Structure 1
């Protein structure tokens, strides 16, 4: 399969339109149609229904394979560029919302002051966005957070030859409305909360699938979905009774409308890791400042 054709197929499926995909890719609609036809001829099956434009069963299967395939190709291209040894004139960093972006910002400012000719940029993204951004070379380094057992590494997506280093850990707490019956407890066990309703906020809190894996228990039902990454919004939802959230204890410590109850041992931890594909110049200087 030609990766170029796969990219075109993914774009058409996402746009649900040949003409919209053609505009996005910079091709004519006829060229996009020819590329999809060539990919279907190569695989011997139809991948898209034309009216409306939706993936067939085979097309949905290809979409499942396409994202990791294209990511690994992008990662290989970025890795080769990094190996070329060209001196970087920029420093692009990313952080997930709970990965101490303030600490990263301070490190970036210090690098900028010591290297005034280097342009610096910081993006706050979802966890997958940070990892894939580093893999594709769109970011020079990233801070990504997650919940894990004390002795285990974070489970990052397979995005090529990336290196991760622990730069911080903190205790976790179940965040509840201030009037919740359990709000006055000194500690709680995570598995005791499996039957509670939780806020499904994969970029702002611990993803529910990760909660189940860490607790080794079913449950942790979604009572409310939140697709954003603003912690203030998430905490407001908790206070309003939309559901519980698992967060670093410090995040909710000073809010009177919620209670942060630390998890009892044995408890998972909130970990922040530095992710990169190789450090040189300003990225290496920034990484040194982030080390504990």
Structure 2
């Protein structure tokens, strides 16, 4: 499913959550939606799901989503932790609701995931732990097989083994059933290997949209003798520095040209990639104490 957003603005009274945002997602990818708290991620997903009227244009495969029942049936938005579910309902009933709303629902897969995450179908949602409620949301999101599936921090509350089982299930099912998946997360490094494209927003504005591998190539870790590292990084954008005795490492932002690579070899410096999370922090860093 292709997503096209043009001039999108969302306001809550005097607060502007999304400020004249425009972007397009070509579809059949796993996208990472990254932003600090209060950046507008949840508001954006709500509009994409058709839950909220907004200023501007939001189209899914060329059709408006708001007040369009046919388009909304192709979308699944899971919030943390399965907030939309009535906590007095049994898990089995929640899954039945999911099946009733979505033509693409795979009930056999939903039961398989429930067993994987050790969720009792007869349990009431309100009696589950926070991590188990998050797992219910993950089951709904994956089993829906919706052309546009959005997971808004839906993995939070899961313990580490369950999160990794969820990541494996997400990737395997995407490979078998390609669709447009948007994942909002603060656990960037855990999910970074799954993300094909990254959309970074801050203070309701689009900061960057880029393929994850291209974004990673923008940063380099430089390690070597402290004096040599200082000489090499002079004039470059340095994100952070660490020293241990005479050895120093520096993370720099910006692609190095051929002359830079040659100079690094001449100085005996080691060059390596830096984490996607470090690049995200730099790109959303407050300037002068303001964002």
User: TM-score per shorter chain, which class?
Assistant: under 0.3
- TM-score norm. by structure 2 comes to 0.25
Q: Which has the higher strand share?
A: 2
Q: Which has the higher helix share?
A: 1
- TM-score norm. by structure 1 comes to 0.25
